[in-house]
Amino acid sequence: MKKIIIANWKANLSLAQARSLAKKLAASRPAKNLTAVLCPDFVALGEMANRLKKSAFLLGAQDCSAFLPGAHTGEVAAAVLKQGGVKYVIIGHSERRANGEGAKVISQKIQQVVAEKLIPIICVGETAGERRLKKTKIVLAKQLQEVLAPLPSKHVKSPLIFAYEPVWAIGSGLTPEPLETAEICAMMKNLAAKAGFSRVTVIYGGSVTDQNAGEYLQYPAIAGLLVGGASLDARRFRRLLNF
């Protein structure tokens, strides 16, 4: 099965840096068995759509509005992202959850994204404290259930990506064991299937590098990777796409 590698640039790059990185990447070819996605910030998105048009890279956004287009100052609607060439949308990243984004809003955003036939990348993950208390599976089951349960049944066949991103692994250089990660990804896929969602895939994110990517991708249950820091350097990210 084709694996997916998604670059989350977060708010790390100036427009000039985003341009330069996209230019370097656009010329490269990810391995045949990989789908590669770049998620720049909203301002860079428009330009990236043009720059990447003839490349092997697809475009993703880092967030979207929970509402339909309308009087919602500061929001960017999923429909407009689609018009801008976006195919994937990261939803509920822990950095947004830490700023107060809750399950209800996350679920509304997923609904907007799937209604536009875009693919949401729904982030879930336990904190270091929850892991110490051995609550990882309980926390993940709750996070999954609370965003899937409110989705209308017409969306059960929509393709959804869950990104298992332990909060303690993000940007820390710490990572969970690949085998344990594969078991967790398989558990999440099963839980989603039990809830009726038949097209769920689960990827891993958190301190992924060109060195450790292969250790995760060797497991069929891990459908891909969500990459932060290691996606900001063209050479490193190219190595990651050709391991």
Active site residues: 93, 165
Of 30 and 166, CB closest to ligand 13P: 166
Burial 5-15 (b: 16+ CB within 10 A, else e): bbbbbbeebee
Of 13 and 156, CB closest to ligand 13P: 13
DSSP β-bridge partners for residue 222: none
Contact assessment for residue 121 and residue 161, using Cβ atoms and an 8 Å cutoff: yes
Binding piece for ligand 13P, criterion CB under 6 A, among 70-78, 80-88, 179-187, 227-235: 227-235
Shortest Å distance, C-beta 157 to ligand 13P: 26
Place of tokens 């045949």: 32
Three-state DSSP class for residue 71: coil
Which are the contacts of 71, defined by CB distance < 8 A and separation ≥ 6? none
Per-residue mark of binding to ligand 13P, 171-200 (x: CB under 6 A): x-----------------------------
Asked if 101 interacts with ligand 13P (CB under 6 A), we say: no
Which are the contacts of 126, defined by CB distance < 8 A and separation ≥ 6? 135, 136, 139, 140, 166, 167, 168
Segment (H or E) for 220: none
Asked if 227 interacts with ligand 13P (CB under 6 A), we say: yes
CA-atom Rg of the chain in angstroms: 17
How buried is 178 (Cβ within 10 angstroms: 0-12 exposed, 13-18 middle, 19+ buried)?
middle
Asked if 228 interacts with ligand 13P (CB under 6 A), we say: yes
Instruction: Return the residue of 51, 206, 221, 222 that touches ligand 13P, per CB under 6 A.
Output: 206
Asked if 125 interacts with ligand 13P (CB under 6 A), we say: no
Per-residue mark of binding to ligand 13P, 8-47 (x: CB under 6 A): x---------------------------------------
Asked if 226 interacts with ligand 13P (CB under 6 A), we say: yes
Shortest Å distance, C-beta 70 to ligand 13P: 29
DSSP β-bridge partners for residue 35: 4
Asked if 224 interacts with ligand 13P (CB under 6 A), we say: no
Q: Which residues bind ligand 13P (CB under 6 A)?
A: 8, 93, 165, 170-171, 205-208, 226-230
